[in-house]
Amino acid sequence: MNKKNLKNLSLIFTLITLFSCQSDELAKLKIDADGAFKLNITDEKAKIPITFLENEISGTSALWFESDGEKTWITGKPEKVSSDENQFSAAWIIDDKNIIVRFVKNDGNINFSFSATPDDNITGWGLNLSATPDEFFTGLFERVVDGNQKESWKEGITEALNLRGQKIDMLVKPTVSLYTPFHISSNGYGIFFEGTWPGHYDFCNTNPDVVSISFEGKNLSGIIYTNPNPAEMVKAHSLHVGPTIVPPKWAFLPWRWRDNHENRPAYYDGTKVTAPYNSMLVEDMLMMKAFDIPCGVYWVDRPWAKGPIGYDDFEWDEKRLPNPQKMIDWLHNNDTRFLLWVAPWVTGNMRSEALEKGYAQPLKGSHYGYNKNNVALIDFTNPEACKWLQEKGFEKMLKQGVDGFKLDRAEELVPETNDIILSDGRTAREVRNQYPVLYVKTVNEACRNIKGDDFVLIPRAGYTGSSKYSGFWGGDIGSPPEGLRSAIIAVQRCAVIGFPIWGSDIGGYWQGDLDREVTARWLAFGCFNPIMEFGPTEDRAPWYMDSEPGYDTELIAVWRLYAKIHTMLAGYSHQLAVEANQTGMPIVRPLFLQYPDQPEAWKEWQTYMYGPDILVSALWEKGQTSQQVFLPEGEKWIDAWDKSKTYEGGQTIEVETPYEKIPIFIRQGSEIDLGDLNELYRESIELAKNKPDLRRLERNENF
């Protein structure tokens, strides 16, 4: 930045930060001679500047507030300054308002706040940060790019983990919907903004030298994390907003589901159904058992209850799902837990009751509140409404044996205007981002009341604080190759922003035909996610595909191969979840979290660590028969497919990647042993070649 071109530069904060909290040297805070002020935090071990600066394009200053629809820049010398070794504050009188900017050292980081008195017409705040030419930014959300979710898997997309050049609205949107206002920079800092109001980020898009950030609300506060090791900032943030939940061990076993569970008179091959439960569910369970495919969790999506949309009053539709409680018992006897779809709205008689009691009244009359299917959106800021829904809905199902829930739709139908006032007095716009958090918290409390710690929740939407209550799935990611590409990015982005328990719909969700090659690559990638959930597979299965080969021996074998590997790693994954809870270190780790001093670690987004010991390199492009894999320096890496091969780190190697293979490397010295993967695949092929006899499988089953 050319300082000669700066005019009226009012605020420059240079935060030269600490590598760790070990230094006893205290901060130096001062006002410079020309009336602008600087905040210097010094340590002999680190000099990483964060600079709040003016925008060269507009000629404006570093900070601003908004009132009555207009932006006011904070300029000129402060009327009052207070500073010592650990804090700095400055005050201006602007438009009869007392504007206060404050920075306070806290555990090696810096808490900041911007406020005004009076604040009756304040509607937002913003700031500008300088950016260096090669600076890398990541965090904020799981999407590849903001806007319509399909933009994240459009053909030809090139954006990956780095947010540089992007504009992002901090507003939860359907359906790839995990957001939190925390990002890190490769220059050794991260920033988290407290609160729930919507915001906006511009990462060097309008000006290549400037990151511009703004949030709605009467005040703005947050934390500046400072550390040259990005993992330390990620850990600190995760603990600050969490700690993240630790699911039971069975959650780290493979999952299976379909989108619509029809109850058909015959199985896929024409065999008459005599089982007393839903035919699709029974078919899945019998076929997986025949192929020796592990399955620890099975979930049923909507429609599952009575009514026109299959969700009335938490009452089973027993034509679709006959003998539901016995069905759940049967699953449990087969070491498989059962999850059920739920939403933040009610239908049927519960809708009428919710409106009568005022539990949905704040949204009545808003076109956001009801859709064509006549649903009522619950106001989760109302404690009575939460208790009512817990008892009449979630706890009712848990007492029937349900082991957890898939929480859908918390980012749809939810109003985001200021003219709707919710039960706790806040506007719907202020609550919009927090709504998924209040929803999952309510369901979490119901589960704990009945199940203790032995349950799992997976919403698709989340915001700051959601990770205390649940794991997550990646929403309705499209099924083309680029959909898999976006999932590879999403699991790593979620790890950075504090959502470490994550999985995606393997094969994608309905956006185009299910592709057998993409699905096979997705199974391999999904194996090395904390949650491995296979579905919805167009309500079909690899033994009954809608394209040739209908009975897909190879895809069945790939499913078995990676379900077996994922099962081998269940204990490892659970221990990593415990570590995430205790230290904040995520399970999936972009290479830069573990090897930040290696430039390649910031570039190689397809290769990541699963815990400290396993390196995988995910594939997503069709027809790819080899993969360039970077092996980080400072380690020796054992090829899990050929244990006779050990590689020195610090090099990129080419790995052959046939249909069934994802590159897997084990850090030498770890206790990980996956056995003979080639033999496991050959065994899986032989099992898949033998088409099971469903009539015999039914006879052998104890229904």
Return the CATH number at 626.
2.60.40.1180
603, part of any domain: yes
671, part of any domain: yes
122, part of any domain: no
H-run or E-run covering 473: strand 472-473
| C-alpha–C-alpha distance, residues 283 and 267, integer Å | 7
For the chain, the first-to-last Cα distance in angstroms comes to 73
Residues 6+ apart with CB under 8 A from 503: 255, 458, 471, 472, 473, 474, 526, 529, 530, 531, 532, 533
Give CA 610 to chain center in angstroms: 16
Residue 282 falls in which region: left (phi positive, over 0), alpha (psi -120 to 50) or beta: alpha
Q: How is the chain split among helix, strand and coil, in percent rounded to 5? A: 25, 25, 45
Give the pLDDT confidence score for residue 75 in this predicted structure: 80
Edge-to-edge, what's the strand order for the sheet holding 588-590?
588-590, 607-610, 614-617, 664-667, 636-639, 646-648
320, part of any domain: no
- Please choose, from the candidates 172, 173, 184, 141, the residue with its C-alpha nearest in 3D space to the C-alpha of residue 159: 141
| C-alpha–C-alpha distance, residues 29 and 89, integer Å | 10
326, part of any domain: no
Residue 680's domain spans which residues?
589-687
620, part of any domain: yes
Q: What is the mean pLDDT of each run of 10 residues along the chain (703 residues)?
A: 31 35 36 43 45 55 88 86 84 93 87 96 93 95 97 96 98 97 94 98 94 97 93 98 98 98 98 98 98 98 95 98 98 98 95 93 47 80 97 98 97 88 95 98 98 98 98 96 98 98 95 87 98 96 93 98 98 98 98 97 98 98 98 98 98 98 98 98 98 96 89
Give the pLDDT confidence score for residue 371 in this predicted structure: 57
107, part of any domain: no
Give the pLDDT confidence score for residue 446 in this predicted structure: 98
Rounded to two decimals, what is the model's pTM?
0.94
Share of the chain above pLDDT 90, in %: 80
Structural domain total, the chain: 1
Q: Using an 8 Å Cβ cutoff, are 176 and 168 in contact?
A: no
Residues 6+ apart with CB under 8 A from 696: none
- Please choose, from the candidates 423, 361, 367, 359, the residue with its C-alpha nearest in 3D space to the C-alpha of residue 393: 359
583, part of any domain: no
| C-alpha–C-alpha distance, residues 556 and 543, integer Å | 7
